[in-house]
Structure 1
């Protein structure tokens, strides 16, 4: 029996919250800057080619806001400034108290037709600092 696939629900950047995942959104790339190239150590399995992993931080957004996207390896090549991207199954990672958007092996990045919106850079969600507070109930 085939399971019916559910349609993706597209969200806007300003709806993203810490600790959430499974987001599908259409965004434009504002800029992309390589962070570092991390050499792979080879580890236990020397069968896997030890290619260095590339990381870039990209400012992406839509008409409601912007956020920093952490692109890894092949994702870096897709994140060209001005490109319109569909992120599927994206998740929010926390880095030093601020939100970063990411797509792991369970998600997908697609380059799509140019969108007709301007990115709202003055509402950058990555500039908001969050603090984890533990609530003790007595």
Structure 2
């Protein structure tokens, strides 16, 4: 019998924040936390915070839930794996659900481009009739 060969592991492809588009999934990014605002405090069923994260190309709002809130320390560098874009009132939010992973990384050498916040861009769904 022929030996079953192991599938080759693909190297993760990292994107820049400026390349993100509505409803993107399976994203890998390295970002820095600019600031954090808790929106659902302790005591409720679920903790939530909105953190402004970015890289050298742009910034976006990251929605942190439960244990992820503790990782959103201002100035820390994070590696987001299998992240996705969620739409909220026509604008993009970055999130990592239970299938993804957030890792605290070594401090990155880049400075966040704070004058390009892609969460401020509003999108509108247009139905195209063919």
Say whether the fold is shared (TM-score over 0.5).
yes
Listed as ranges, the gaps of 5+ residues in structure 1 are 41-51
Distance in 1 (alpha carbons) for counterparts of 2:46 and 2:27: 25
Instruction: Report the CA distance shift for 1:113/1:89 in structure 2 as closer, same or farther (over 3 A).
Output: same
Deviation digits for residues 28-58 of structure 1 (CA, Å, limit 9, x no counterpart): 0000110014877xxxxxxxxxxx2100000
- Secondary structure, counterpart of 1:21 in structure 2: coil
Distance in 1 (alpha carbons) for counterparts of 2:101 and 2:118: 22
Distance in 1 (alpha carbons) for counterparts of 2:12 and 2:35: 26
Look up the match of 2:46: 53
Look up the match of 1:24: 28
Aligned residues: 126
CA apart distance, 1:6: 1.2
The TM-score, its normalising length taken from structure 1, stands at 0.87
- Secondary structure, counterpart of 1:77 in structure 2: helix
User: Alpha carbon RMSD of aligned pairs, Å?
Assistant: 1.3
Look up the match of 1:100: 93
Distance in 2 (alpha carbons) for counterparts of 1:21 and 1:101: 10
Look up the match of 2:116: 123
Distance in 1 (alpha carbons) for counterparts of 2:9 and 2:85: 23
Distance in 2 (alpha carbons) for counterparts of 1:71 and 1:78: 9
Runs of 4+ off more than 3 Å: 37-40
The TM-score, its normalising length taken from structure 2, stands at 0.93
Listed as ranges, the gaps of 5+ residues in structure 2 are none
- Secondary structure, counterpart of 2:99 in structure 1: coil
Spell out the pairing of 1:41-80 with structure 2 (5 A cutoff): 52-80=45-73
Distance in 2 (alpha carbons) for counterparts of 1:135 and 1:92: 23
